Structure 1
Amino acid sequence: MDIDETTRINLLYNFYHSLLTKKQSRYLDLYYVEDFSLSEISEQLEVSRQAVLDNLHRSVNLLESFERELGLIEKTTEIDDIAEKLQLLVEKKYSGDTELLKLVQRISKINEK
């Protein structure tokens, strides 16, 4: 599954924002979540556009390093894929087994939290 850069950064931010400083989180939130321009952020935070850009680059690199180390997006994607395939298999071959269906539903809901 290929995702564009902004979507990937938003995913990374969703998973790892609590590991960032308040400052890093603020820059990323304004740019990627609130969709502020570099100029708008620089005005609001009273820093140069270059400072905004530098902070965004450092913060994104940090998010990427968290993903390389922890792999939460990769693991979540794998769980979703397995749960989907398991759901189809159970519905097709074991539709009468309510206990098994409940377990599959629990697996599917893990990543919804």
Structure 2
Amino acid sequence: MNILEKSIELISLYDLYQELLTDKQKSYFESYYYDDYSLQEISDNNNVSRNAVHDLLKRTAKKLNDLESALHLKEENKKRQIIISKIRDINDNEDITNLINELEKVE
């Protein structure tokens, strides 16, 4: 996985789990990934070392991945999106009922 793919993955996890992070984790993460600030810019804005910012972002990424490993929200959301896409592609009412039942099991 390249850097861009890792960033996209972390942002999607952040969108799901941001409420489980501290204010500091959210602030640094958003500055780095959304506002495209450098580690040095974040450290200057928060009066901490560049290494402190790096460590916090690393721990935040680990926490996001750990949350997904435990809760599987992204995985479940992907399953729901696949089922919804299938529903949109069909015309048979019996198939729709079966897919709706499958979707209810995912939740």
The TM-score range, normalised by the shorter chain, is 0.7 to 0.9
Any residues of structure 2 matched to 1:49-88 within 5 Å, and which?
Answer: 49-88=50-89
- Per-residue deviation, 1:8: 0.7
Q: Which runs of 5+ in 2 are unaligned?
A: none
Q: Distance in 1 between matches of 2:11 and 2:83?
A: 23
CA–CA distance in 1 between the matches of 2:58 and 2:35?
17
Give 1:15's aligned residue. 16
TM-score under structure 2 length normalisation: 0.80
Give the C-alpha shift of residue 34 in structure 1.
1.1
Instruction: Say which SS state the counterpart of residue 36 (structure 1) adopts.
Output: coil
Q: TM-score, normalised by structure 1?
A: 0.76
SS in 1 for 2:90: helix
Letter in 2 for 1:37: S
Question: Over residues 36-67 of structure 1, what are the superposed CA-to-partner deviations in whole Å (9 max), with x where a residue is unaligned?
Answer: 11111011011111110000000110011110
Provide the C-alpha distance between the structure 1 equivalents of 2:24 and 2:81, rounded to a whole number of angstroms: 32
Deviating beyond 2 angstroms after TM superposition, the runs of 4 or more aligned structure 1 residues are: none
Q: How many residues align?
A: 96
